Amino acid sequence: MTIKLVSIDQVTDQQILMFKEPFLKEKELIHGSSGLTTAKDITKWRRQVIKDKENPPTNHVKVTQFVVLNETNDLIGMASFNHTLSAYLQIDGGHIAYSIGMKYRSRGYAKQVLIQVLTYVRKEGLANKVLLTCNQRNTASRSVIISCGGQLTKEVQINQQCIEHYWIEIKNNSNFS
């Protein structure tokens, strides 16, 4: 089971639509997708993501958007890295967000995605530590974050949901290579 993180220009609109469809059907947000959940036009969404990476709009942060492909080049997930934290991202969202397609869950892909994004951050020298947040009820996400060295630092209430804040050290972290 191998994955790779690629840019959005390395997949087709059809692949993105097929990935998005089950999330819409289940009314589930696609975390780490730069607004794909609500995008009406995939081509416009793709252009906007590329444009915003180089020149983020006012009150937005620079985002590196990844598409996750498995060993057979199926689009199985999305991931993003926020280069800085806005006031909102400090409360909910953090530096790294990701989603794995429903039919690919519980196979270890989420941990591989997080490890690859953390490795990217380390290699590029983008941060010494990163914030990840997850809903307290999302035990799978919590387990992935903790397995990569996440340390719970606080919990905040947002819309009657408890959001946990985890920090992961980048430099001397043996939980990923």
**Percentage of the chain lying above the pLDDT 70 cut:** 99
Q: Does residue 175 register a pLDDT over 90?
A: no
**Residue 154: partners with Cβ closer than 8 Å, 6 or more residues away:** 164, 165
pLDDT (tens digit per residue) in 108-136:
999 999 999 999 999 999 999 999 999 99
Quote the CA–CA distance of 153 and 78 in Å, as a whole number.
Answer: 26
pTM here?
0.95
Quote the CA–CA distance of 113 and 55 in Å, as a whole number.
Answer: 25
Count of beta carbons in the 10 Å neighbourhood of residue 18: 13
Nearest in space to 101 (alpha carbons), one of 112, 114, 110: 110
- For residue 114, the one-letter residue type is L
Q: What band does 167 get if pLDDT is binned at 50, 70 and 90?
A: very high
Q: What is the third-level CATH fold of 4-127?
A: Aminopeptidase (3.40.630)
Q: What number is the average pLDDT over the span 72-88?
A: 96
pLDDT (tens digit per residue) in 46-77:
999 999 888 888 888 999 999 999 999 999 99
Domain locations along the chain: 4-127
Burial of 131 (0-12, 13-18, 19+ CB in 10 A): buried
Tally: H helices and E strands in the chain:
5, 7
